Amino acid sequence: MSGALEGTIVAAFGRHYEVLLADDSLITGFPRGKKSTCACGDRVAMERASLDQAQILRHLPRTSLLYRSDAYREKLIAANATQIVLVVATEPSFSDELLTRALVAAESQGMRSVIVLNKADLTERLPQARGRLAYLKALGYPVLELSARADAAPLLPFLAGELSVLVGQSGMGKSTLINALVPGALAATREISTALDSGKHTTTHARLYRLAHGGSLIDSPGLQEFGLTHLSSSAIEEGFIEFRPYLGCCRFNDCRHQSEPNCAIKQAVAAALISDRRYEQFLRLTTRG
Ligand SMILES: Nc1nc2c(ncn2[C@@H]2O[C@H](COP(=O)(O)OP(=O)(O)OP(=O)(O)O)[C@@H](O)[C@H]2O)c(=O)[nH]1
Ligand SMILES: [Mg+2]
Ligand SMILES: [Zn+2]
């Protein structure tokens, strides 16, 4: 078949995609139906429609799929990513719950996680933000303090050989990081104005960038919610990495770690082997979805 070809989605606009071909050229890919089921990072099989357009027939098997969901829909963030880079900042203030949820989603896909505390140059707010991340650092998640504006290099060693996806709330500096790490990227960034503009996202679609020293980075639009309705309760339990040694040790197989007797998780909390804070976060996730 003369028209068949494969490529990698490097930008996802919803109704259409930018697809990178093996010869480094770009083609516009359109999904077959109205519903788009592909994400940035997907490898796709296509049929060429014209010189610069192709129809996407299907995505090839994925090694991971990072997405969020609520009762109504799923939002794909990235396919085949090996690592999530969670970007928070000294300001604006960040949400603990969002961070936890994104970590659980990444764990469910077997992805590595790195947390970047950006805008470290705003030193007045730094100790507080650092303090708010200490419990995650204690769990073993790398927490890198840096200033994307001044020097993003501390992140580089973590990116080699990985397909990383930058995830975080709007205004944390994801696109600024992209511009610092990828010469010529020209990702749009925006000052967050104190009033009306806040909450608006500067980045409107995911885009994949290749790093000169190996590895790739996906920039994604800022998010305020990270629904996990697609995850089973066991996937959520396992997403709390420090729970893992105790899973399967409760008296009841279907223990929800709430008020059941002889619950290994609650015993671990009582013995301070699991922090109260993480246990509370777990309860919030499993009772709210
Ligand atoms: N002081 C300081 N400001 C920064 C730093 N990094 C980013 N900023 C500023 O923070 C603002 C938001 O940065 P963006 O890179 O657009 O944020 P984003 O996370 O991509 O936001 P969305 O695309 O909306 O999700 C911009 O005004 C940046 O210049 C930093 O290291 N220090
Ligand atoms: Mg952005
Ligand atoms: Zn239990």
Number of domains within the chain: 3
207 C-beta closer than 6 A to ligand 1: no
pLDDT at 4: 74
Residue 224 lies in a domain: no
Examine the domain organization and report whether 15 and 104 are in the same domain: no
13 Cα: distance to centroid of ligand 1 (angstroms): 22
Examine the domain organization and report whether 93 and 19 are in the same domain: no
Q: Render pLDDT for 78-107 as a digit per residue (tens, 0 to 9).
A: 999 999 999 999 999 999 999 999 999 999
98 Cα: distance to centroid of ligand 3 (angstroms): 24
Examine the domain organization and report whether 173 and 101 are in the same domain: yes
Q: Are 163 and 215 in contact (CB under 8 A)?
A: yes
Query: At 204, is the pLDDT very low, low, confident or very high (cuts 50, 70, 90)?
Result: confident
> What is the residue range of 268's domain?
233-288
Instruction: Decide which of 141 and 289 is more confident.
Output: 141
User: Residue 195 pLDDT > 50, yes or no?
Assistant: no
147 C-beta closer than 6 A to ligand 1: yes
Burial 30-39 (b: 16+ CB within 10 A, else e): ebeeeebebb
Residue 83 lies in a domain: yes
Look up the CATH number of the domain holding residue 266.
1.10.40.50
Examine the domain organization and report whether 72 and 214 are in the same domain: yes
Tell me the C-alpha to C-alpha distance, in Å, between residue 45 and each of 3, 34, 209, 227. Answer: 10, 17, 21, 30
Residue 178 lies in a domain: yes
Residue 227 lies in a domain: no
205 C-beta closer than 6 A to ligand 1: no
Look up the CATH number of the domain holding residue 119.
3.40.50.300
Tell me which of 90, 190, 205 to substitute to probe ligand 1's pocket, judged by most ligand atoms within 8 Å of the beta carbon.
190
Residue 256 lies in a domain: yes
Tell me which of 98, 181, 202, 219 to substitute to probe ligand 1's pocket, judged by most ligand atoms within 8 Å of the beta carbon.
202
Q: Render pLDDT for 209-259 as a digit per residue (tens, 0 to 9).
A: 999 888 999 999 999 999 999 999 999 999 999 999 999 999 999 999 999
Tell me the C-alpha to C-alpha distance, in Å, between residue 283 and each of 183, 251, 252, 262, 276. Answer: 43, 19, 17, 17, 10
Q: Which ligand is nearest to the CA of 251?
A: 3
Q: Render pLDDT for 166-182 as a digit per residue (tens, 0 to 9).
A: 999 999 999 999 999 99
In the Cβ-directed half-sphere of 216, how many Cα atoms lie within 13 Å? 18
Q: What are phi and psi of 260, to 5 degrees?
A: -70, 145
204 Cα: distance to centroid of ligand 2 (angstroms): 8
Examine the domain organization and report whether 262 and 171 are in the same domain: no
177 Cα: distance to centroid of ligand 2 (angstroms): 9
Examine the domain organization and report whether 208 and 237 are in the same domain: no
Q: Which residue has tokens 């960034």?
A: 189
Dig out the tokens for 71 from the structure.
């009762």
Examine the domain organization and report whether 200 and 93 are in the same domain: yes
User: Residue 196 pLDDT > 50, yes or no?
Assistant: no
pLDDT at 188: 74
First to last CA, the chain: 46
166 Cα: distance to centroid of ligand 2 (angstroms): 9
The DSSP secondary structure of 70-117, one letter per residue, reads -SS-EEEEEES-SEEEEEEESSS---HHHHHHHHHHHHHTT-EEEEEE
